[in-house]
């Protein structure tokens, strides 16, 4: 077989992050229900309630020590650890949390490609913080997610998506792993073949039959042979094991929320200041909505005080809204209900989520 005549083009100029939340659903439940912390936690309905049916969506790291993992039957999980807490998941809620995580990502770049609720690629080659170091950006994102949402994630930093994902997977939880161009080939060669993206359960046995167990084995195969054996995947694997993956980060253009916030170095105490800020924020949110041709159904107020961490409170309305006055009205209503007057306010934010295009439904003013 002829060897490849032209060197592969490898774009080393990009800075790609892959962020993956740690035990996502389980961590959200632990955050909201501290009594669950410190014990094995399985996100599934208790098998006793379902006559043994049901599947584990995820488990915290303590439960994983018993061999419990995603996609296992809840019954099996119960057998492995009868004392574990079983909590049914709330997908809609996790979707909202995911939205909040994405709002943080978008403070760094709009080149965000969601993979799953808890996982995304970010191209930070150019970024809103104008910071050059991918590592520094990854650390900032991890810190911000922790500060604002009390959730942890693992981050991978590299020059392409494939390596960034391998990196984020390398150390979990709370990992931050960097794969530089120099390290890529060595890293890939020692990697078990099943870790290569696209090599699924069906392909692994075939790879093994053909004597391919690691990246090193894969590296020894020539391109034509790999294409003959594995088609498109062979083509891609030939490149991946050489650290080449030029796939762009494809931003999800659909905006799911619009939010604006302000932090105050001198905390606000006077209600007039709060009202003025809420009005400004509502104005900005309404402008952004108009620009995006969107209207939304859920108004979210975010507040940080000197006493407690960031909290968010939401109101879901009967109809879709986009007007400044209406957004302000509900944001203020939430503010009143929180009864925080007199507390030092360090951050205020208004977000409208549950968005649809403006043309979707006729706009009805919700105020009678």
Q: Which residues bind Mg ion (CB under 5 A)?
A: 20-21, 24, 118
Of the candidate spans 18-26, 137-145, 283-291, 299-307, the one that interacts with ligand TTP by CB under 6 A turns out to be 18-26
Marked catalytic residue, from 29, 96, 113, 119: 119
What is the spatial distance between Cα 346 and Cα 49, in angstroms, rounded to a whole number? Answer: 45
What is the spatial distance between Cα 255 and Cα 106, in angstroms, rounded to a whole number? Answer: 10
- For ligand TTP, the closer CB: 44 or 299: 44
Structure-block tokens of residue 131? 């910071």
List all residues 6 or more positions away from 47 whose beta carbon is below 8 Å from its beta carbon.
53, 54, 73, 74, 75, 77, 78, 86
Interaction of residue 173 with ligand TTP, rule CB under 6 A: yes
First-last CA distance in the chain: 78
Structure-block tokens of residue 174? 């709370």
Interaction of residue 57 with ligand TTP, rule CB under 6 A: yes
The site map against ligand TTP for 286-325 (x = CB under 6 A) is: ----------------------------------------
Is 6 strand, coil or helix?
coil
Of the candidate spans 115-123, 195-203, 210-218, 263-271, the one that interacts with ligand TTP by CB under 6 A turns out to be 115-123
Shortest CB 119 distance to ligand TTP, Å: 6
Q: Which of 40, 58, 75, 326 binds ligand TTP (CB under 6 A)?
A: 58
What is the spatial distance between Cα 175 and Cα 169, in angstroms, rounded to a whole number? Answer: 8
Shortest CB 33 distance to ligand TTP, Å: 16
Interaction of residue 92 with ligand TTP, rule CB under 6 A: no
Contact between 141 and 223 under an 8 Å Cβ cutoff? The reply is no
List all residues 6 or more positions away from 265 whose beta carbon is below 8 Å from its beta carbon.
none
Which partner in ligand TTP, Mg ion, none is near 25 (CB below 5 to 8 A by kind)?
A: ligand TTP
Which partner in ligand TTP, Mg ion, none is near 324 (CB below 5 to 8 A by kind)?
A: none
State the DSSP H helix or E strand holding residue 245, giving kind and residue range, or none if neither: none
Q: Which of 16, 17, 18, 25 binds ligand TTP (CB under 6 A)?
A: 25
CA distances from 285 to 58, 85, 134, 323 (A): 35, 41, 30, 9
Q: Which of 12, 37, 116, 356 binds ligand TTP (CB under 6 A)?
A: 116
Block residue for tokens 């981050």: 155
- Interface positions, 325-344, toward ligand TTP (CB under 6 A): none
Interaction of residue 261 with ligand TTP, rule CB under 6 A: no
Q: Which of 15, 16, 17, 22 binds ligand TTP (CB under 6 A)?
A: 22
Which partner in ligand TTP, Mg ion, none is near 284 (CB below 5 to 8 A by kind)?
A: none
Of the candidate spans 2-10, 14-22, 225-233, 290-298, the one that interacts with ligand TTP by CB under 6 A turns out to be 14-22
Contact between 264 and 346 under an 8 Å Cβ cutoff? The reply is yes
Which partner in ligand TTP, Mg ion, none is near 71 (CB below 5 to 8 A by kind)?
A: ligand TTP
Please say if 209 is a catalytic residue.
no
Angle subtended at Cα 260 by Cα 255 and Cα 264, rounded to the nearest 5 degrees: 155
What is the spatial distance between Cα 185 and Cα 242, in angstroms, rounded to a whole number? Answer: 6
Is 127 strand, coil or helix?
coil
Interaction of residue 10 with ligand TTP, rule CB under 6 A: no
Phi and psi of 24, rounded to 5°? -50, -65
Contact between 61 and 173 under an 8 Å Cβ cutoff? The reply is yes
Q: Which residues form the interface with ligand TTP (CB under 6 A)? A: 20-25, 57-58, 70-71, 116-119, 172-173
Catalytic residues: 119
């Amino acid at each position: 077989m002829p060897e490849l005549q032209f060197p592969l083009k490898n774009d080393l100029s990009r800075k790609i992050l892959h962020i993956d939340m740690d035990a996502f659903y389980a961590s959200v439940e632990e955050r909201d229900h501290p009594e669950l912390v410190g014990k094995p936690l399985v996100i599934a309905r208790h098998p006793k309630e379902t006559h043994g049916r049901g599947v584990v969506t995820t488990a915290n790291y303590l439960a994983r020590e018993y061999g419990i993992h995603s996609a296992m039957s809840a019954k099996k999980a119960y057998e492995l650890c009868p004392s574990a807490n079983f909590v049914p998941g709330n997908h809609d809620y996790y979707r909202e949390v995911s939205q909040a995580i994405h709002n943080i990502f978008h403070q760094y770049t709009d080149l965000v490609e969601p993979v799953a609720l808890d996982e995304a690629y970010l191209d930070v080659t150019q970024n809103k913080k104008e910071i050059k170091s991918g590592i520094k950006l990854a650390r900032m994102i991890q810190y911000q997610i922790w500060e604002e949402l009390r959730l942890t994630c693992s981050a991978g930093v590299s020059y392409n998506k494939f390596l960034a994902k391998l990196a984020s997977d390398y150390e979990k939880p709370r990992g931050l792993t960097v794969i530089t161009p120099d390290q890529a080939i060595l890293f890939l060669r020692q990697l078990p073949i099943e870790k290569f993206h696209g090599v699924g359960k069906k392909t692994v046995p075939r790879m093994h039959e053909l004597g391919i167990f690691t990246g090193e084995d894969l590296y020894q195969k020539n391109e034509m042979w790999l294409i003959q054996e594995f088609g498109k995947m062979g083509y891609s694997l030939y490149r991946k094991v050489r650290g080449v993956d030029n796939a762009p980060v494809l931003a999800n253009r659909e905006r799911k929320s619009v939010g604006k916030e302000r932090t105050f170095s001198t905390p606000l105490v006077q209600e007039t200041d709060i009202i003025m800020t809420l009005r400004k924020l509502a104005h900005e949110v309404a402008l952004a909505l108009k620009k995006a041709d969107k209207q939304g159904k859920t108004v979210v107020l975010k507040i940080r005080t000197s006493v407690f961490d960031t909290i968010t409170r939401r109101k879901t309305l009967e109809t879709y809204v986009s007007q400044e006055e209406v957004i302000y009205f509900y944001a203020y209503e939430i503010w009143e209900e929180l009864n925080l007057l007199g507390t030092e306010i360090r951050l205020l934010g208004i977000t409208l989520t549950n968005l649809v295009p403006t043309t979707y439904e006729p706009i009805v003013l919700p105020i009678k």
